[in-house]
Amino acid sequence: MSQQAQPLDVERLREDFPILDREFDGTRLVYLDNAATSQTPEPVIEAIADYYREYNANVHRGIHQLSQEASVAYEEAHDRVAEFIGADGREEIIFTKNTTESMNLVAYAWGLNELGPGDEVVLTEMEHHASLVTWQQIAKRTGADCKYIPITDEGRLDMDAARELITDDTEMVSAVHVSNTLGCINPVGELADVAHDHDAYMFVDAAQSVPNRPVDVEDLDADFLAFSGHKMCGPTGIGVLYGKRHVLEAMEPYLYGGEMIRKVTFEDSTWNELPWKFEAGTPLISQGIALAAACDYLDDLGMENVERHEAELAEYAHDRLTEHGDVEVYGPPGDDRGGLVAFNLDGVHAHDLSSILNDSAVAIRAGDHCTQPLHDVLGATASARASFYLYNTHKEVDRLVEAIDDARQLFA
């Protein structure tokens, strides 16, 4: 990774994403739905194609050449992802389908066995449903309680409240690193310190941070951290669960079957070594290999550079959207947020706004963004969300604002 942020050569790297050249009724696409899923560059697509063209085989189950090549590439993908987030090695990297499955893996493999009446799980009001619903339902099954750290009027995490809510009864603190609605960047390292002071574990939902900024799990001191490949130039169907090795070793498997076993008899079974203990059945081979290629692609750009580019676009979008007094932007100021802006235009439902923008070939998100309880706190049934990535430009933000002006006139 580069040591100092440098401007991205956006026009050149856009060439790696042919989908950005698509036109609708003669108007070029402006893709601003990157918090939902990013686009995939040619080197990553080629990594998938090369696997199926050249060495498509199951891993760890054959001594023939194709299986050996696939096994090496798949194992090295774990190594590459570990390096990308600063993990200690492949043993701490488990491939899942997505962030949601990573959350569920820990909730079922650890939570069902360790939580009970009187225990507490501390979450935030801005949690994605992948975290909130998962821990909520595990708490119902185990008799544990869920508590929620509130947000401030500015849309930040209330750390004073967090220190009061996290007690010796707390067993798990689970918090989103960057809110997919507010755009705020939470001090998850500080939360981890508070959690560990009370002998609790820290789970970081990094779905909106690992793709967009340098993340080092050792610096954060996270016990668990999860993210998805499809938000970071990788393919769909691949997620990552990072866990500290000693914690993962103490956990029971989440899924049973082939690959995750060491010895099986009619009476009992023993488990494979990490990370294969948690990767039952035929794993996500091509997806994992492609995710490693996505890590290479992002590291070549420099994650500091990606973070800087997104921050500039988010600040510019915040400033442009708030030029008129009829747009409410949720979350912190424009110079202190991740690369997304959720907002509402007075008198226009977010779904209607998204439809009007689509007529101008501007793709955004509309709805509750899997944060229904947070929208209840905000007093909004839904919001529109523009989210940026390494290939977006200031001119595309201008296109967004122009399309919103059209909606403003239409509903005047």
Phi, psi of 274 (to 5 degrees): -70, 145
Exactly one of 184, 233, 295, 370 is catalytic; which is it?
A: 370
Estimate to the nearest angstrom the gap between the alpha carbon of 372 and the chain centroid.
Answer: 18
CB atoms within 10 A of CB 355: 12
For residues 221 and 205, is the Cβ–Cβ distance under 8 A?
no
How many residues comprise the chain? Answer: 412
Known catalytic residue at 184: no
Structure-token pair, residue 291: 């995710």
Structure-token pair, residue 40: 């995939």
Estimate to the nearest angstrom the gap between the alpha carbon of 136 and the chain centroid.
Answer: 20
Helix (H) or strand (E) holding 316, with range, is: helix 303-321
Burial 259-277 (b: 16+ CB within 10 A, else e): bbbeeeeeeeeebbebbbb
The β-bridge relationship of strands 327-330 and 340-345 is: antiparallel
Give the closest residue to 34 by CA, choosing from 12, 9, 17, 15.
17
Which residues does the annotation mark as catalytic?
370
